[in-house]
Structure 1
Amino acid sequence: MQPMRKKSINVLLVTVLLLLGLAAVLLRPLDRTPFTKTDYYATTLRNLQQRPAYVTQGDTVRVGWAKVNITPPAGTPLAGYGKRLGMDYESVHDSAWARTFAFSNGKTEAYYVALDMLIVPMQVMRRLEQVYPKLGLKPEQVYLTATHSHTSFGGWGKKLGVSLMSGEYEEELVAQLTRQIVQSMQLARQNLQPAKIGYGSVKAEGLVKNRLLDDPENPFYPDRNKTRDATLRFLKFEGQNGETAILSALSAHATILPSKTPELSRDYPGELVDELERHVDFAAFSAGAVGSQSVVYTHGDTYQSTQEVGEELAALLWQQLQQITCDYVYTLGYDRTRLALPEPSWRIATDLRLAPFVFNSVFGQHPAYVTSLQLGNVVFVGAPADYSGEFVARLRQNAQAQGLQAIVTSFNGGYIGYVTPDKYYNLEEYETRSMNFFGPHSGSYLTDIMLRQLRQYGQAKK
Structure 2
Amino acid sequence: MKFIRILLKVLLGLVVFILLFLAVSLAPVDETPYQQMPYYTQTKARLAQLPAPPAAKAPLRAGWAKANITPPYSTPTGGYGARRGKHWHVVADSIFARAIVLDNGGTKVAVVGLDLLITPPTVVEALKKRLPELGLRWENVYMGAIHSHNSVGGWAPGIVGQLIAGGYDEKIVTRVTDGILTAIRDAQGNMAPVEVGFGQTDASDHIYNRIGFSGPTQPLDGMIRLLKLRKVTGESALLCTFAGHATLYEDSMWNYLSRDYPGSLVDRLEKKSADFAVFMAGAVGSTGPQARGKTDFQEIRNYAGDLALRIERTVPQIQTKPDSALAMLTLPLGLREPHPRVIGNWRVRPWLFYAVYGDYPSDLKALRIGKTVLLGTPCDYSGEFVADFKPLATQKGVNLMVTSFDGGYIGYVTPDRYYNRTTYETRDMNWFGPYNGAYFEEMIMGLLKKI
> What TM-score do the two structures reach when normalised by structure 2?
0.95
Deviation per residue, 1:107-129 (Å, 9 max, x gap): 22111000111011111111111
Write the distance in 2 (CA, Å) between the matches of 1:8 and 1:169.
Answer: 40
* Residues 89 and 9 of structure 1, relative CA distance in 2, 3 Å threshold: closer
1:438 positional shift = 0.2
Residue equivalent to 1:219: 215
Write the distance in 2 (CA, Å) between the matches of 1:195 and 1:275.
Answer: 23
Residue equivalent to 1:161: 160
1:7 positional shift = 9.3
Residue equivalent to 2:136: 137
Equivalent residues in 2 for 1:230-379, closer than 5 Å? 230-261=222-253, 262-279=255-272, 280-300=274-294, 302-379=296-373
* Residues 154 and 8 of structure 1, relative CA distance in 2, 3 Å threshold: closer
Equivalent residues in 2 for 1:192-207, closer than 5 Å? 192-207=191-206
Deviation per residue, 1:37-73 (Å, 9 max, x gap): 1100001011112224525333211111111111112
> Which amino acid is the alignment partner of residue 267 of structure 2?
D
Write the distance in 2 (CA, Å) between the matches of 1:15 and 1:95.
Answer: 51
1:18 positional shift = 4.2
Which of residues 438, 441, 445 in structure 1 aligns to 2:435?
A: 441
Write the distance in 2 (CA, Å) between the matches of 1:151 and 1:15.
Answer: 41
Deviation per residue, 1:341-395 (Å, 9 max, x gap): 1110010133111111111111110000001211112111100000000111112
Write the distance in 1 (CA, Å) between the matches of 2:186 and 2:443.
Answer: 33
User: Which has the higher mean CA deviation after the structures are superposed, 6-15 or 330-339?
Assistant: 6-15
Write the distance in 2 (CA, Å) between the matches of 1:184 and 1:100.
Answer: 6
1:20 positional shift = 3.3
SS in 1 for 2:271: coil
* Residues 347 and 240 of structure 1, relative CA distance in 2, 3 Å threshold: same
Q: CA contact under 8 A between 1:373 and 1:381: conserved in structure 2?
A: yes
Q: CA contact under 8 A between 2:292 and 2:303: conserved in structure 1?
A: no
Q: CA RMSD in A?
A: 1.9
Residue equivalent to 1:32: 31
Write the distance in 2 (CA, Å) between the matches of 1:82 and 1:173.
Answer: 21
Q: CA contact under 8 A between 2:81 and 2:251: conserved in structure 1?
A: no
1:219 positional shift = 2.5
SS in 1 for 2:63: strand
User: Which has the higher mean CA deviation after the structures are superposed, 61-70 or 13-22?
Assistant: 13-22
Q: CA contact under 8 A between 1:256 and 1:301: conserved in structure 2?
A: no
Write the distance in 2 (CA, Å) between the matches of 1:383 and 1:19.
Answer: 38
Q: CA contact under 8 A between 1:116 and 1:266: conserved in structure 2?
A: yes
Long gaps (5+) in structure 1: 458-462
Residue equivalent to 1:84: 83
Q: CA contact under 8 A between 1:63 and 1:101: conserved in structure 2?
A: yes
2:421 aligned with 1:422: no
SS in 2 for 1:183: helix
Write the distance in 1 (CA, Å) between the matches of 2:39 and 2:223.
Answer: 33
| Percentage of matched positions with identical amino acids | 39
1:21 positional shift = 2.5
> Which amino acid is the alignment partner of residue 219 of structure 1?
G
Write the distance in 2 (CA, Å) between the matches of 1:101 and 1:78.
Answer: 27
Equivalent residues in 2 for 1:99-138, closer than 5 Å? 99-138=98-137
Write the distance in 1 (CA, Å) between the matches of 2:5 and 2:166.
Answer: 51
> Which amino acid is the alignment partner of residue 408 of structure 2?
G
Write the distance in 2 (CA, Å) between the matches of 1:3 and 1:99.
Answer: 70
1:188 positional shift = 0.7
Write the distance in 1 (CA, Å) between the matches of 2:135 and 2:328.
Answer: 15
SS in 2 for 1:260: helix
Write the distance in 2 (CA, Å) between the matches of 1:71 and 1:443.
Answer: 36
> Which amino acid is the alignment partner of residue 215 of structure 2?
P
> Which amino acid is the alignment partner of residue 76 of structure 2?
P
Q: CA contact under 8 A between 2:56 and 2:107: conserved in structure 1?
A: no
> Which amino acid is the alignment partner of residue 108 of structure 2?
E
SS in 1 for 2:178: helix
SS in 2 for 1:277: helix
Long gaps (5+) in structure 2: none
Write the distance in 2 (CA, Å) between the matches of 1:309 and 1:4.
Answer: 66
Q: CA contact under 8 A between 2:56 and 2:105: conserved in structure 1?
A: no
* Residues 411 and 302 of structure 1, relative CA distance in 2, 3 Å threshold: same
Write the distance in 2 (CA, Å) between the matches of 1:91 and 1:37.
Answer: 51
Q: CA contact under 8 A between 2:270 and 2:276: conserved in structure 1?
A: yes
1:84 positional shift = 1.6
SS in 2 for 1:278: helix
SS in 2 for 1:56: coil
1:447 positional shift = 1.8
* Residues 5 and 339 of structure 1, relative CA distance in 2, 3 Å threshold: same
User: Which has the higher mean CA deviation after the structures are superposed, 227-236 or 441-450?
Assistant: 441-450
Residue equivalent to 2:97: 98
Q: How many residues align?
A: 449
Q: CA contact under 8 A between 1:350 and 1:426: conserved in structure 2?
A: no
2:45 aligned with 1:65: no
> What TM-score do the two structures reach when normalised by structure 1?
0.93
* Residues 337 and 288 of structure 1, relative CA distance in 2, 3 Å threshold: same
